[in-house]
Amino acid sequence: MKKSKFQNPNKLGKNIIREIFCLDLSFFGFICHLVFVIWFFSFATSNAAVIGSTDDSMTVGGGARPIGMGRAFTAIADDCDAIFINPAGIAGLKGPQLMSMATNLLGEVYYLEFSGAVPTPNGTFAAGYITTGVNGIPTGQVLTDYYDSLLTLSYAVPLARYFTYGKNLYAGVNYKIYNRGFTGGVNQFATGQSADLGLKFIISQNLSLGLCRQNILPVSMGGVIHLSAGEEESLAGITKLGIAVKPTVQEKLLVSADIDLPAESGRPTTAHMGFEWKENKYFTFRGGLDQSVDPATASHTSWNPALGASLNYFGLRVDYAYHAYYNDPGLATQYVSLSYIGEPLFSLKGAVN
């Protein structure tokens, strides 16, 4: 009988080191190792001089389901919405998924969001697209339109696909391409790129943890927005930490909490709390509190309530969310997203049992 390498506990440390430092020469193994090198290297790389920093449109929340939970979704991240919050979550998908969302933010800003994910035996590949903006801005005699679009290409996989250790650990990466500017009375444009890296650790069926470092790409590696005037803006980096708990005494309930740690010292830390109650296979209800940064000061925050519900029928899911902003009921926004959840395609290699 073949002897297992786990039979000798003294070899455990050597096996871990070997798994970490020995590269898998396959294409996907190379990608997995490269992602981790970039992640750790980005924290040690200093930024070049830029004129300021800017946010990206992913901060809205990524689908009506996460928004209805106060955006406390980093450790849940179990459907196509995960692309915009924690890409590691799509590694657990068994079948293809599609999601679209449309809303009008604060009564003035149009916002459209699309995403799709396809799992394969070698991991899940996905793409997301966000377009937002404001039309008819007064600028002299000619009105100006502002546009802002984001294209996201994603890959996620259970680490057990490449390592002996990591059966309950998912890893995911986003590569993001930005395009924004003004047309009409003012003509300016800007383009840029960045990346996100996420982890999801499933401790048990009742407890999971999430981590996502958004905009990890430093300026020295091209993680900037290039303005048409020749200047550059860095992209605000955020580290998202999350926990999700399904109490053993009530399996219909899912509770989650997130904290967002900004990379820049001048930005406040924010938190998010939410719950989801799955009444049956058709109806789900949710609510939460979302701590948002006041755009007028960029240093003060406000807690805003969020509510939501879902109707799921044979693979089609309609999500609704209501979200207040800045303690002003007049700025409350309603979100509706439509999702398709496909049938399982295969048994995913390296997935949790």
Residue with the two structure tokens 């820049």: 264
List the domain range (segments joined by +) for residue 322.
14-341
Is residue 321 assigned to a domain?
yes
CA distance 183 to 185: 6
CA distance 232 to 223: 10
- What's the pLDDT at 6? 37
Q: Which residues contact 182 (CB under 8 A, 6 or more apart)?
A: 137, 144, 145, 146, 147, 188, 189
- What's the pLDDT at 347? 52
Strands 53-54 and 232-235: parallel
Residue with the two structure tokens 């969302």: 101
- What's the pLDDT at 346? 60
Beta bridge partners of 123: 120
CA distance 215 to 200: 18
Q: Which of 337, 343, 282, 340 is nearest to 316 (CA)?
A: 340
Q: What is the 3-state secondary structure (H, E, C) of 130-191?
A: EEEEEEEECCCCCCEEEEEEEEEEEEEEEHHHCCCCCCCEEEEEEEEEEEEEEEECCCEEEE
Is residue 203 assigned to a domain?
yes
Beta bridge partners of 213: 197, 239
Beta bridge partners of 112: 102, 131
CA distance 120 to 122: 5
The single-letter code of the amino acid at 8 is N
- What's the pLDDT at 292? 85
- What's the pLDDT at 302? 86
pLDDT in tens, 115-128: 999 999 889 999 99
What CATH number has the domain bearing residue 233? 2.40.160.60
What does the block give as tokens for 167?
């059966």
Helices and strands in the chain: count of H runs, count of E runs: 3, 17
Q: How far is CA 144 from CA 135, 137, 149, 197, 226, in A?
A: 7, 5, 17, 36, 21
- What's the pLDDT at 257? 97
- What's the pLDDT at 37? 52
How many other C-beta atoms are found inside a 10 Å radius of the C-beta of residue 64?
Answer: 32
Q: Which of 163, 132, 158, 154 is nearest to 145 (CA)?
A: 132
- What's the pLDDT at 194? 92
C-alpha 103, offset from chain centre: 19
pLDDT in tens, 89-99: 999 999 999 99
Residues 284, 167, 153: CA angle, nearest 5 degrees: 65
Considering its fold, how many domains does the chain have in total?
A: 1
- What's the pLDDT at 228? 81
Is residue 182 assigned to a domain?
yes
Each residue's pLDDT, cut to its tens digit, for the chain (353 residues) gives 444 333 444 443 444 334 434 444 444 554 455 455 545 544 444 344 455 566 777 777 689 999 999 999 999 999 998 999 999 999 999 999 999 999 988 778 899 999 999 999 889 999 999 999 998 888 878 889 999 999 999 999 998 888 877 778 999 999 999 999 998 888 888 999 999 999 999 999 999 999 999 999 887 777 888 888 778 888 888 999 999 999 988 889 999 999 999 887 778 899 999 999 999 999 999 999 999 887 666 678 889 999 999 999 989 999 999 998 877 777 788 999 999 998 887 655 455 44
